[in-house]
Structure 1
């Protein structure tokens, strides 16, 4: 912050006596010159005799010396005046109304994917998707009201029967032969007070439990209520309760379920928030409950020091603690999982080392259709088997330091070991158990080692008619031993996102 220098009392008085008339003259002359072709003539300061006439109560000797009487009421008022900062208006106080702040944006996404799973399926798909997202403003007043509505649509350009949810999936689980589909992807009503927003409807939220898994032509959305407040400086607080999901590839609502266990449940509720305790440091704490499945707690802390022009160091720790609750429909759960990362960036290049471990006899699980696993080594696969340890080495490239803004690239490798699901397999030994296939692989309890490598370059256009268009290529290869839960696979993906602002 710049600090203003302090002037002496005599200088202040001289400014009050001489400076204000001079400023007025300069402003008036400059305003006239703005319409003329020639520069203005320098202003003529008012003679001291005119100053004396403007303040007849002042002694002539003082005026002649350029020193007005310090007892003048005008001088006292100006000397004691305190210039208070303008109050900061909240988002609701600055509202331009329901229509005035409304926006309509389009996102065109061309998505193609090719994947081979060893001794199993082959899938490929090429889809053109579009999201038309309308967001109204808020009515003016202490409490503002508004609504949002989005239309999602997709056209299948190619896609075989094994494409799964990359193309349309009907209510019966089939429907891959459908050529095109459209549906209301999001809709909600909303209210706002100051910096606090409450929404109810089909929407997208982002937190450690319900972050949408947006890796298809169209994203999943969730039905429920959400509350986000940023009224406390440097803090973001949120809560929510959701009951349904419009899954990737689907056009209808369905029940929430767990990602690995596949167990359905009626409601997920959460609360928590984050605090920017320093310009480069953030602390987050959250808790959630999947009814009759689990209670889950999440904490993270991240901090950075230094500068990329020399070396910028960044560290982050994430931890989840999961425990069964209610009817425990996914069985006994007593599981902790954490990850630690340390990274260094010098100029365009960055290097990250990440360690992750699961402590417990169960898989670390999360809500299906979400990316609710904020652990560092969740890349192509999640490295979340019971007792598993994993280590990642990642290189990143930021083209802005090379004179190519918009260019990004990431290259990584992850290795996992010590997976041991024998306790979970014993508890689900019967083939009729809904969790049998999760804990058993090729006739034995899940165990073994595995590894992956991946490469993701991307480029975002910086100017022109298609500015902000992002082109991303992804290549990933995963290799595991015969009894590890994730099979060998290779995947290639090309995604082009083209945003358009209508108004």
Structure 2
């Protein structure tokens, strides 16, 4: 990894020598107001998890039901200012979000989370409405931006999740630099993380009650060519763990309608300090190959977990799992687990229906070491269809159906999750106001 890192830096420096005379992003700034954007995203979501083989939720009232069901609507309004003109540009980003429950009572949720759409109150009922907001100040010199405050983050070692009605929101500082063509460098420190159902600034708790202490992250992505990119990243989450990550992505064009893509992702994780989330000593990697021709894409993937434990994440963001077999229900990251995926995608634009897509995939995992000592096994099948309006007053309005069937043997159900069928209906409408 050290050799590759120095090779990336050397190539980046060489590439950058020809870019010194090019105007920077700050030089081209039009102003705080002139470059501002204001967007509103409306999302309606219905989610049902039907538990199998006698499994049931047990809520705070002691009722037992064999399914979890939630429905709600959310609104996310995001304002991003431009930067003031001059050597140092200054700007402000702000967000406001809220959700309203449409369906789902105390008998249809589990504990205090249900399906993760709403947090439950002390009576065991999902909250009727939730809301939160935040803001960040940002500074730009040339092509380097420093941002402090509440923000969304998409680093492979610290990533906020947006898989339910409202997204997670991180609080901290992030520096992103694109001074050299093809090279993006980043570094950050985050001290709070608001969960998808938690309205407080620091409401994430992963799989424990303490929550995020602090997380320091660094990352570098370099485009060697238009078809080949590489990424290195690392994180240090105080009293939890340290992680290192690598990604290599290569696309081989065959002709105008065909191509091959290879995507490798790898993590190395080790607990540290108090090890609040228990011991962690894991290597997790995946390799996916995809063949695209016309409207069709076929993908095969293999994923491997090794070490003294399985992979862990959550307090560093529930999106911090950039591997091929992290799908709708399972991530296939158990101790010693090996998993295989077969996937097919279809884009109906080639058949005269632009905006309509289909996807199906099947993943099987085995050789999992469990607490009982017996081999754990799991498998999952997903189906998804999405349609996006292409024109008219409702342009970009999307309708999405996601369906998953998850099954595991008894040995792994005791460690992970019961068998269930998962249905999600999502309607989303992004609107650009400014």
Could you state the TM-score of these two structures normalised by the residue count of structure 1? 0.75
Matches within 5 A, 1:27-426: 88-118=22-52, 119-121=55-57, 122-161=67-106, 162-163=108-109, 164=113, 166-169=116-119, 176-184=125-133, 186-254=134-202, 256-258=204-206, 264-307=211-254, 309-368=256-315, 369-379=317-327, 380-421=329-370, 425=371
Match of 1:370, SS state, is: coil
CA distance in 1, matches of 2:143, 2:399: 34
2:377 to 444, 449, 462: 449
| Equivalent residue, structure 2, for 1:434 | none
Maintained 8 Å contact 1:288/1:297: yes
Shift of 1:223: 0.9
Maintained 8 Å contact 1:169/1:175: no
1:473 to 401, 417, 428: 401
Shift of 1:309: 4.4
Q: CA 1:157 to 1:151, structure 2 compared with 1: closer, same or farther past 3 Å?
A: same
Pick the structure with more helix per residue: 1
Maintained 8 Å contact 1:210/1:367: no
Q: How many residues align?
A: 395
CA distance in 1, matches of 2:300, 2:255: 17
Does residue 1:462 correspond to 2:390, yes or no?
yes
1:496 to 408, 427, 433: 427
Could you state the TM-score of these two structures normalised by the residue count of structure 2? 0.86
Shift of 1:132: 1.1
CA distance in 2, matches of 1:115, 1:309: 42
Q: CA 1:124 to 1:332, structure 2 compared with 1: closer, same or farther past 3 Å?
A: closer
Flag structure 2 segments of 5+ consecutive residues without an equivalent: 1-18, 58-66
Maintained 8 Å contact 1:297/1:321: yes
Flag structure 1 segments of 5+ consecutive residues without an equivalent: 1-84, 426-443
CA distance in 2, matches of 1:270, 1:86: 28
CA distance in 2, matches of 1:248, 1:336: 28
Bigger mean CA deviation after superposition, 455-464 or 114-123: 114-123
* Higher-Rg member (1/2): 1
Maintained 8 Å contact 1:364/1:384: yes
Q: Over aligned residue pairs, what C-alpha RMSD do you find?
A: 2.1
CA distance in 2, matches of 1:181, 1:228: 32
Q: CA 1:446 to 1:251, structure 2 compared with 1: closer, same or farther past 3 Å?
A: farther
Maintained 8 Å contact 2:248/2:263: yes
